[in-house]
């Protein structure tokens, strides 16, 4: 092994520190740079405790401001109302598929800072900054100061984590609980047996702190996402590998974290299963070779492509993932040959074992949890994979350490910055701008989707002061509902109609494109009977559910 030039070490540390600083700055710059996407606005209404009051649009138009009000946290008049709102957060989760911690923490955050994009994403950014610091601590424990900086720099600039650091879902926080739990566990494993019983007071306090951190991180992870159970299994296996003689002490610690989640499991999870007996149904899919593609796509997304994966053909993340599998395998072989085996095993356990466990369970049960959501359900493998790359840079790269590390960091930053700079994410802002061109004109918005993500995003970005009513129906039901509404009201009631034709109504898509075109022709015919088309615009975002054709109709002068 060729050792890196000693003069390069300060320069590499400086580059890593600058990369961390840039990663922090990018998170602050991009706080309000994009709209809430579909799942984010669902997080928002659950966190306000008002999704229990949500009623889907029916066959008659409703004031859009009625939905806008559901996205704000009601100001409690007394302690009893505040407690009732928190209770509603829990009630709203009983029909969901997620544990409560991320929504509950967002609830209190909104109470302090409001429900704007910048305010709400501030919570996830805050958690991601702690995760970056924790990554430094984990890296320093295993590889020293420079290794800690490199690991933190890779996490800070990683485009996949950058995206989820600005997403008010549970995945950004999940990385924090992942890193904190393994960092605390390895610190506890490091304590010699005699020090655990006869350590000075200072060291004893550290021992208590690491115990609290491990137990809290395990509990927090399980209360953030159910699939964190794979990570709990991973930690248990790590104990057997690194400190088998004290397995029962570590087992008690991990078990204590599980015990803290029992109240929710007995009450909340039980009712979720009762309300949604096929709670894992969203993961259903045919198996076969698809399981291998899921693994490849997940690695390609997390280690290279980031959120760009939502706009790319499936073959690109698959090919990218296969390349990453080859490179990670090469790193593993070279590290093993160099004799760097203990830390190599730790990195493989943290980064590779969880996805292998999940894949095995998927194959047995015919599910696809690994590939769901472009790999976001497996985000807890990201720190381990980055640790493996850092380990190779520190122990094997030699004279190539600086150029390879610099290239990787620049690549990560380029992908992340281009993601936020080049891809459109302002669809509903543009719809709101159309409405605001005539802010006092009574307007009927016709939407061929009653998916609450679409309805709530429209409500969030449309000023509540505008006289807008919403008719949102599944594509097959929209034409008759619209015809009935227009026949029962005077045409002057709605001097302007904005028709939003969603390319992906989410839960109510028509089976064929021919059926969709047929329904659209019906709506066109109804509107052209008394209105004239004055404007048409195509809107698109980063997903199929963000694609809309917007048509503005005004009363015909005939």
Report DSSP state, residue 61.
-
> Which residue matches tokens 């939502």?
310
Report DSSP state, residue 454.
H
Q: Are 299 and 378 in contact (CB under 8 A)?
A: no
Whole-angstrom Cα distance, residue 43 to residue 421?
A: 25
Core vs surface per residue 291-314: b (16+ CB within 10 A) or e:
bbbbbbbbbbbbbbbbbbbbbeee
Whole-angstrom Cα distance, residue 173 to residue 164?
A: 9
Whole-angstrom Cα distance, residue 540 to residue 301?
A: 22
For the record, the structure tokens of 83 come out as 């407690």
Whole-angstrom Cα distance, residue 150 to residue 8?
A: 14
Domain ranges of the chain: 8-54+62-279+290-422, 427-555
CB neighbourhood size of 99 (10 A):
24
CA atoms lying within 13 Å on the CB side of residue 274: 8
Which pLDDT score, from 0 to 100, does residue 8 have? Answer: 61
Q: Are 276 and 297 in contact (CB under 8 A)?
A: no
Element (H, E) at 554: strand 548-555
Q: Are 427 and 539 in contact (CB under 8 A)?
A: yes
Whole-angstrom Cα distance, residue 35 to residue 45?
A: 15
Residues 6+ apart with CB under 8 A from 24: 129, 132, 156
For the record, the structure tokens of 38 come out as 């579909």
CB neighbourhood size of 133 (10 A):
17
Nearest partner of 506 among 555, 466, 457, judged by Cα = 457
Positive or negative CA dihedral for 49, 94, 223, 542? Answer: negative
Core vs surface per residue 369-391: b (16+ CB within 10 A) or e:
bbbbbbbbbbbbbbbbbbbbbbb
Element (H, E) at 195: helix 193-198
Helix, strand, or coil (residue 37): coil
Taking the CA atoms of residue 415, residue 373, residue 39 and residue 173 in that order, the dihedral angle to the nearest 10 degrees is: -70
Whole-angstrom Cα distance, residue 460 to residue 426?
A: 13
Whole-angstrom Cα distance, residue 86 to residue 82?
A: 6
For the record, the structure tokens of 480 come out as 């008759």
Could you tell me the CA-to-CA distances from 102 to 182, 223, 254, 258, 274 in Å, in that order? 20, 8, 21, 17, 22
- Residue 538 phi, psi dihedral angles, 5° rounding: -100, 130
Question: CA 42, 29, 321 angle in degrees (round to 5)?
Answer: 70
Residues 6+ apart with CB under 8 A from 247: 239, 240
Whole-angstrom Cα distance, residue 287 to residue 289?
A: 7
Could you tell me the CA-to-CA distances from 381 to 75, 158, 176, 349, 410 in Å, in that order? 40, 13, 12, 9, 22
Whole-angstrom Cα distance, residue 408 to residue 391?
A: 14
Whole-angstrom Cα distance, residue 544 to residue 91?
A: 31
CB neighbourhood size of 229 (10 A):
14
- The pTM (predicted TM-score) of the whole model is 0.92
Low-confidence ranges of the chain (pLDDT < 50): 1-2, 194
Which pLDDT score, from 0 to 100, does residue 194 have? Answer: 44
What pairs with residue 535 in β-bridges? 552
Which pLDDT score, from 0 to 100, does residue 221 have? Answer: 97
Maximum Cα interatomic distance, the chain, rounded to a whole number of Å: 94
């Amino acid at each position: 092994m060729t050792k890196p030039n000693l003069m390069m070490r300060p320069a590499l540390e400086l580059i890593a520190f600058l990369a961390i600083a840039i990663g922090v700055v990018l998170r602050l710059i991009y706080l309000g740079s994009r709209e809430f996407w579909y799942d984010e606005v669902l997080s928002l209404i659950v966190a306000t405790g008002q999704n229990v009051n949500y009623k889907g649009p029916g066959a008659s138009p409703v004031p859009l401001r009625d939905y806008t009000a559901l996205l704000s946290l009601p100001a409690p008049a007394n302690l009893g109302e505040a407690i009732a709102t928190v209770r509603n957060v829990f009630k709203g989760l009983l029909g969901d598929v997620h544990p409560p911690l991320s929504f509950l923490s967002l609830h209190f955050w909104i109470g302090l800072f409001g429900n704007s994009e910048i305010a709400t994403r501030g919570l996830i950014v805050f958690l991601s900054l702690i995760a970056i610091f924790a990554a430094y601590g984990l890296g320093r424990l295993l590889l020293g100061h420079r290794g800690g900086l490199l690991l933190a720099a890779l996490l800070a600039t990683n485009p996949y984590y950058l995206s989820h650091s600005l997403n008010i879902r549970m995945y950004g926080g999940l990385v924090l609980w992942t890193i904190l739990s393994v960092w605390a566990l390895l610190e506890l494993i490091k304590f010699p047996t005699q020090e655990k019983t006869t350590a000075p007071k200072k060291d004893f306090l550290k021992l208590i702190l690491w115990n609290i951190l491990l137990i809290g991180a395990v509990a927090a992870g399980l209360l953030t996402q159910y699939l964190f159970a794979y990570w709990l299994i991973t930690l248990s296996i790590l104990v057997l590998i690194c400190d088998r003689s004290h397995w029962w002490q570590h087992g008690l610690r991990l078990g204590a974290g599980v015990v803290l989640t029992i109240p929710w499991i007995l009450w909340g999870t039980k009712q979720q299963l009762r309300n949604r007996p096929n709670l894992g149904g969203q993961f259903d899919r045919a198996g076969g070779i698809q399981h291998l593609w899921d693994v490849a796509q997940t690695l390609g997304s997390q280690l290279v492509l980031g959120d760009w994966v939502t706009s790319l053909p499936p073959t690109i993340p698959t090919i990218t993932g296969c390349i990453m599998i080859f490179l990670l395998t090469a790193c593993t072989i070279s590290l093993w040959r160099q004799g760097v085996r203990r830390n190599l095993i730790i990195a493989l356990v943290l980064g590779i074992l969880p996805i292998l466990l999940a894949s095995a369970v998927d194959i047995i049960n015919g599910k696809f949890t690994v590939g769901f959501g472009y790999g976001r359900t497996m985000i807890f493998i990201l720190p381990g994979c980055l640790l493996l790359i850092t380990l190779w840079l520190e122990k094997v790269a030699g004279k190539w350490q600086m150029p390879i590390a610099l290239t990787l960091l620049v690549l990560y930053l380029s992908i992340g910055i281009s993601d936020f700079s080049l891809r459109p994410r302002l669809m509903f802002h543009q719809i709101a701008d159309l409405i605001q061109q005539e802010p006092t004109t009574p307007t009927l918005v016709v939407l061929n989707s009653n998916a609450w993500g679409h309805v709530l995003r429209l409500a969030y970005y449309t000023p509540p002061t505008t006289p807008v009513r919403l008719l949102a129906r599944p594509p097959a039901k929209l034409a008759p509902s619209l015809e009935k509404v227009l026949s029962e009201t005077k045409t002057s009631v709605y001097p302007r109609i904005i028709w939003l034709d969603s390319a992906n109504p989410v839960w109510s898509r028509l089976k064929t494109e021919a059926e969709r075109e047929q329904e659209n022709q019906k709506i066109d015919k109804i509107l052209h009977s008394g209105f004239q088309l004055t404007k048409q615009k195509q809107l698109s975002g980063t997903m199929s559910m963000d694609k809309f054709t917007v048509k503005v109709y005004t009363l015909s002068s005939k």
